[in-house]
Structure 1
Amino acid sequence: MEAPEFAVYLLRKNPRIHAWPYRWVEWPDFRVPAHTLDAVAALREAHERAVSERVEIACGGGVGRTGTAIALLAVMSGVAADDAVAWVRAHYHPRAVETRAQTAWLKRTAELL
């Protein structure tokens, strides 16, 4: 697998990666980000960089937090906020965005964009 040129890690603790640039978003498992504006800034940067760089979005399990982040990236790319969960489940993982809190956070945060 090719290394990313940039990454966003959605984890409770900073992973302290030294091999490539990254942004850490404090985001406990099955929850929402500790700081919404930090999460939005990191995902905006990933969205912009993905135009010309290999970008990685990752959490511990790769489903709930990652799926929620990808759904927000989809909104940034023009998918309607009301359709983002269905879009990410169809295109990424059928169980993406695992909790009601994640769905509610996605809808609230999409209004900030």
Structure 2
Amino acid sequence: MITTWDPTALGVLRLPSGRLVRGRGLSRPLPVGQVPGFALYLLGHEPPAVPWEARWLLWPDFRPPSDRAATGSALREAWTRSEAERVEIACTGGQGRTGTALACLAVLDGVPSRQAVAYVREHYASRAVETFRQRRFVAHFHKCDAGAAKTLSADV
């Protein structure tokens, strides 16, 4: 059974394929209504337990992710699961790290990497993807190369 998000719900991004993914800031209360089936939390510390399946990525605020290979794998999992499940991507504020991850999901969904940040800013949040390093991470994130994100140098 397919159980995805209500497309009009707060923070829900519709990807070009029609997949729906919710982005949010964990500093705000959980929105009323539907809860995720799977969540990907992008934080500098382990998040508290939640009653749904979740995965945590070590991702310092205002920076690209710490482990690019793990990030690529987790984002591909989130994108795949979003076809039939309610997938949530979240960081503390719901803008920088969340926007960066959503832009990478847009790349996986067929948006050219150089256009993915603009896509997410138009369809999710105008201030998504906050730093140059985050924008550069998205620009080098490629759906066809499972290791593309890993090959970025440590100073990205």
Q: TM-score, normalised by structure 1?
A: 0.94
Counterpart selection for 1:66 from 98, 106, 126? 98
Question: Equivalent residue for 1:2?
Answer: 34
Matched, 1:84 2:116: yes
Counterpart selection for 1:51 from 68, 80, 83? 83
Q: Distance in 1 between matches of 2:48 and 2:131?
A: 27
Q: Distance in 1 between matches of 2:70 and 2:126?
A: 27
Percent identity for Structure 1 against Structure 2: 50
Matched, 1:15 2:50: no
Task: Give the secondary-structure state (helix, strand or coil) at the position aligned to 2:115.
Answer: helix
Q: Distance in 1 between matches of 2:121 and 2:50?
A: 32
Deviations 1:2-46 (A, max 9, x none): 111000000001114241111111111111100011111111111
Q: Distance in 2 between matches of 1:48 and 1:82?
A: 22
Matched, 1:30 2:62: yes
Q: Distance in 2 between matches of 1:45 and 1:17?
A: 20
Quick one: which amino acid aligns to residue 21 of structure 1? E
Shifted more, 39-48 versus 9-18: the winner is 9-18
Q: Distance in 2 between matches of 1:105 and 1:22?
A: 23
Give unpaired runs (5+ residues) of structure 2.
Answer: 1-32, 150-156
Quick one: which amino acid aligns to residue 105 of structure 1? F
Tell whether the 8 Å contact from 2:59 to 2:65 is kept in structure 1 after alignment: yes
CA RMSD between the two structures = 1.3
Matched, 1:100 2:123: no
Shifted more, 18-27 versus 4-13: the winner is 18-27
Structure number with bigger Rg: 2
Higher helix share: 1
Aligned length: 113
Give unpaired runs (5+ residues) of structure 1.
Answer: none
Tell whether the 8 Å contact from 1:36 to 1:109 is kept in structure 2 after alignment: no
Tell whether the 8 Å contact from 2:100 to 2:135 is kept in structure 1 after alignment: yes
Tell whether the 8 Å contact from 1:10 to 1:27 is kept in structure 2 after alignment: yes
Q: TM-score, normalised by structure 2?
A: 0.69
